[in-house]
Amino acid sequence: MPILTPEELKARLEAALPGVRIEVLANAAVPAQSSLLVAPAHALAVARFLRDDPQLRLDMCSNVTGVDWPDREEKVKVKQLVDGVEKEVEEIRRHPGYLEAVYHLYSVALKQGPVVLRQRTGNRTDDTVVASLTPVWRGCEFQEREAYDLFGIGFTGHPDLRRILMWDEFKDHPMRKDYVEPDDYEYEPTPHEEVLDRAKAHYPVPEAKA
């Protein structure tokens, strides 16, 4: 069953929640599934409205995932004065990266959805925190932990934010696009193929008996 369009949802949210600004992000891969980008400071208020509004009743978060957008460079042509003459020159513009937490929301009660809600961090280094939506949809708890573990997204207000797949001493976040695989595989219980070749460089591997 169709729900309000993203543009209609944006207008409704901004009218109901003073100070909230929503950006509609198009999805080239799935044109009918644009998403709503909300600032972490307003995410909880938006989430509660989406859940409690009688026309929406988005009572289930089916999944939470992370997205890593690394720093990128863009070449653009601009006009500049060169020796008094206007010329078109190429300029490199740098865009800082960020992380996103993406929520797919459905209404079980009204049998409609999805609504895709996004939160974006300030960067990929020291401003990587968004708001936990677990207080609104309890099903987010483990999935936000997974995004924290694999992408390094922090969730303010999460009831138990800790690694869920990697061990506590593990360094870095394996789903980051610039993640560098370690060369030390001493934790691999049964080294094989390429892992076996790397393991031999760090500790003796007993040869199989005939």
Q: Using CB atoms within 10 Å of the CB of residue 69, give its burial: 0 to 12 exposed, 13 to 18 middle, 19+ buried.
A: middle
pTM, 2 dp: 0.82
d(CA 30, CA 28): 6
How much is the pLDDT for 140? 98
Could you tell me if residue 33 is inside a domain? yes
Q: In this model, does residue 188 exceed pLDDT 60?
A: no
d(CA 142, CA 15): 32
Q: Taking all residues of the chain, what is their mean pLDDT, rounded to a whole number?
A: 89
Could you tell me if residue 183 is inside a domain? no
Band (pLDDT 50/70/90 cuts) for residue 202 is confident
Q: What number is the average pLDDT over the span 55-74?
A: 94
How much is the pLDDT for 133? 98
How do 85-95 and 35-38 pair as beta strands?
unpaired
* DSSP 8-class letter at 209: P
Q: In this model, does residue 28 exceed pLDDT 80?
A: no
Distances in Å between the alpha carbon of 175 and those of 6, 52, 66, 125? Answer: 29, 33, 9, 15
Could you tell me if residue 47 is inside a domain? yes
CATH classification of the domain holding 131: 3.30.460.80
Q: In this model, does residue 187 exceed pLDDT 60?
A: no
How much is the pLDDT for 14? 97
Could you tell me if residue 118 is inside a domain? yes
Could you tell me if residue 26 is inside a domain? yes
**Which residues fall within 8 angstroms of residue 177, CB to CB, at 6 or more apart?**
68, 70
Range of the domain at 24: 6-70+97-165
Could you tell me if residue 41 is inside a domain? yes
How much is the pLDDT for 122? 96
Which tens digits make up the pLDDT trace of 127-171?
999 999 999 999 999 999 999 999 999 999 999 999 999 988 888
d(CA 169, CA 177): 21
**Which range has the worst mean pLDDT, 8-22, 37-51, 55-69, 71-85?**
71-85
How do 112-120 and 35-38 pair as beta strands?
parallel
Q: In this model, does residue 185 exceed pLDDT 70?
A: no
Band (pLDDT 50/70/90 cuts) for residue 189 is low
Could you tell me if residue 191 is inside a domain? no
Q: In this model, does residue 110 exceed pLDDT 70?
A: yes
**Which residues fall within 8 angstroms of residue 73, CB to CB, at 6 or more apart?**
92, 93, 94, 95
Q: In this model, does residue 199 exceed pLDDT 80?
A: no
- Which position has the higher pLDDT, 87 or 174? 174
Residue 124 CB neighbours (<10 A): 22
Could you tell me if residue 80 is inside a domain? no
Q: How many domains does the chain have?
A: 1
